[in-house]
Amino acid sequence: MEQMKVLLKNVGKIRPESAKDYINAGGFEALRKALSMSSDEIIQTLKDSGLRGRGGAGFPTYRKLQFACSTENDTKYVVCNADEGEPGTNKDRILLSGDPCAIFEGMAIVGKAIGAHMGYIYMRGEYVYLREMLYKALENCEKEGCLGKNIMGSGFDFVIKLRMGAGAYVCGEETAMFESIEGKRGEPRYRPPYPGVHGLFGKPTVLNNVETLANIAPIFRNGTEWYRTIGTEGSPGTKLFTVIGNVEKRGVYEFPMGINLKELIYDVCGGIPDGKHLMAVQAGGASGPFINKDQIDIPLEIDYVAASGGRLGCGTILVIDDSNCIVDMVCNNLYFFKEESCGKCTPCREGTTRLYQLARKISDGKGTMKDIDAIKSLGETMNNASFCGLGRSATVPVESAIRNFYPDFERHIDKDFCPVCDREGRMQG
């Protein structure tokens, strides 16, 4: 099956730090168009395109802009979420390292729409090696007059600054990211007030994921009708899928929204290597559900996946073969959340560790049916009462694993042999 390269069009073809290369490939045409448009026209265009956030929740992009646009303030900000902390995800790294100017262009268009003159890219600390190149790319864009003061003679100013994280998954949550950019611990804020009213430095702010921003220039360049022809009715456009784990061909792939998960795994990525078989798939990163091999014949599209109890999220597809154990996977997953909980609210701070302990107890063959009940009820409370999305979604994988792989949990409780969990010298004790 052929990939459809809209976002990856330039990746590997141009020098990423070169604004000139980007311009020669048609770059900044979209911004030029947008500069001659009014706020309402830009937002209307995004609305017509049907673009939805590629970071996780799939929120319509134009609505975020609308909120910030309708709040009166001389200072507003555009923030690009390049924290990409979901385990298994590296699509944003590919975009940042392969075609950063497209992201800048998207940010500038958003800036023009809401009346912001300053943008921040918050990039995770692990990507520190991209920093110098991005500085160069920003500098080159300014030299070409595509960023900075009086962009393309339009009188519109837009400056982008780069900010680094230093290892905190929770900073991918938008208000936690604002806190981090402000020089504080990355702990989330409660809402309302919403970022569109009171965001970064207390100013109206629009925050978008790298991939979402990369979609904006193509929309303005090629028009909303063209964009609508790609993907599905509810989720137009292409999507980057990071397929990792036990597949032949790991990597980042671009396909129209709605591609079938089974086809992606078997046709595109070559299926499961070493003669093993598929056991489970976790879609959407660490907070995505575990589904079993009978549940993978589904279109990867925001609403469909959501309706089936899953989450397309960042488009990460973790393929797990049958040499693994689901209970062990759940332990690994919960270990991640217990290490990454910021500790601000009680349910998440305490609950992530307790969920891990309960799952570990089961994987160790010391669990009882009561422990499964405890996981379920604690999970429900965390899901209902946690402060931010981290605590609310940390329970999804374990709950889905129990639902979709119940016999495996029973097997561990019954102390039947598990080749993975009975192995000596496991980490994370």
Partner 1 sequence: MINLTIDGTEVSVEEGASILDAARKANVKIPTLCYHPDQTVKAVCRICVVEVEGMPGLQASCSTPASEGMVVKTASPKVIRARKDIMELIMARHPMECLGCQQNGRCELQNVAASLNMSKPSRYPLDIRKATIDNTSPSIVRDMQKCILCGRCEETCSDVQEIMVMAKENRGYYSMMVPPYGKKLVDTPCVNCGQCVQVCPTGAITVKDDTEKVYSFMDQDKVMVASIAPSVRVNLAEALGEEPGTVSTGRMITALRKIGFDRVFDTDFAADLTIMEEGSELLDRIQNGGTLPMFTSCCPAWIKYAETFYPEHLDNLSSCKSPMEMFGPLIKTYFAEKVKIEPSKICSVAIMPCTAKKFECQRDEMNASGYQDIDVVLTVQELARMIQTAGIDFKNLEEGEFDNPFGLGSGAGLIFGATGGVMEAALRTVYEKVTGKEMDPLDFTPVRGFEGIKEASVDLDGTVVKVAVAHGLGNARKILQEIGSGRAQYHFVEIMACPGGCIGGGGNAPRTWAKVEERKRAIYEEEKRLPVRKSHENPWIQQIYKEYLGAPLGEKSHQLLHTHYVNRHDLLGS
Partner 2 sequence: MEEEMDRNLTYRVPASTLVEVAKIAAPYRDRPEHLMKVVLKVEQIVPIFSQDVTAVISREMNIPQTQVYSFVTFYQMLYTGRRGKYVIHMCQSAPCHIRGAEEVAKAVEDMLHIKMGETTEDNRFTLAYAPCMGVCDVSPAIMINGKVYGNLTPDSVREVIKRYIREEVQ
Tokens of 241: 């899928």
Q: Which window, 80-88, 219-227, 294-302, 347-355, contacts partner 1 (CB under 8 A)?
A: 347-355
Is 282 a residue that touches partner 2 (CB under 8 A)? yes
Helix axes 369-385, 406-413, angle to 10 degrees: 130
Q: Which of residues 191-230 bind partner 1 (CB under 8 A)?
A: 192
Binding of partner 2 by 183 (CB under 8 A): yes
Query: Do the Cβ atoms of 171 and 389 come closer than 8 Å?
Result: no
Q: Which is nearer to partner 2, 182 or 373 (CB)?
A: 182
250 versus 293: smaller Cβ distance to partner 2: 250
Under rule CB under 8 A, residue 128 binds partner 2: yes
Query: Binding mask 380-399 vs partner 1 (x if CB under 8 A, - otherwise)?
Result: xx-xxxxx----x-------
- Based on the shown chain and the rule CB under 8 A, indicate whether residue 125 belongs to the binding site for partner 2: yes
In whole angstroms, the minimum distance from the beta carbon of 111 to partner 1 comes to 30
Interaction between residue 390 and partner 2 (CB under 8 A): no
- State how far the Cα of 387 lies from the Cα of 59, in Å rounded to an integer: 19
Q: Of 59-67, 248-256, 302-310, 376-384, which segment contacts partner 1 by CB under 8 A?
A: 376-384
Least separation in angstroms between CB 178 and partner 2: 10
Chain position carrying tokens 């010391």:
366
- Name the binder of 192 from partner 2, partner 1, none, CB < 5-8 A by kind: partner 1
Distance of alpha carbon 423 from the chain centroid:
33
What 3-state DSSP class applies to 302?
Answer: helix
Residue 374 to residues 96, 163, 286, 406, Cα–Cα distance (Å): 42, 41, 21, 15
Q: How many other CB atoms are there within 10 angstroms of residue 357's CB atom? A: 15
Residue 228's binding partner out of partner 2, partner 1, none, with CB under 5 to 8 Å set by partner kind? none
Site for partner 2 in 337-366 (CB under 8 A): 339-340, 342
Rounded to the nearest angstrom, the gap between the alpha carbon of residue 159 and the centroid of all alpha carbons in its chain is 24
Tokens of 414: 């019954």
DSSP state of 234: S
Taking CB under 8 A as the criterion, the residue among 353, 364, 403, 420 binding partner 1 is 353
Task: List, in order, residues 6 or more apart from 44 with CB less than 8 Å away.
Answer: 62
Burial class (CB in 10 A: 0-12, 13-18, 19+), 243: buried
Q: Most distant CA pair in the chain: distance in Å?
A: 73
Residue 354 site contact among partner 1, partner 2, none (CB < 5 to 8 Å, cut-off depends on kind):
partner 1
CA pair distance 124, 82, nearest whole angstrom = 6
CB of 164 to partner 2, least distance (A): 6
What span, in angstroms and rounded, lies between the C-alpha atoms of 99 and 379? 40
Using CB under 8 A, list all residues that contact partner 2. Answer: 84-90, 93, 124-129, 163-169, 180-186, 201, 242, 244-246, 250-252, 282, 286, 318, 320-321, 324, 329, 332-333, 335-336, 339-340, 342, 425-428
Using CB under 8 A, list all residues that contact partner 1. Answer: 168, 185, 190, 192, 338-347, 349-354, 357, 370, 374, 377-378, 380-381, 383-387, 392
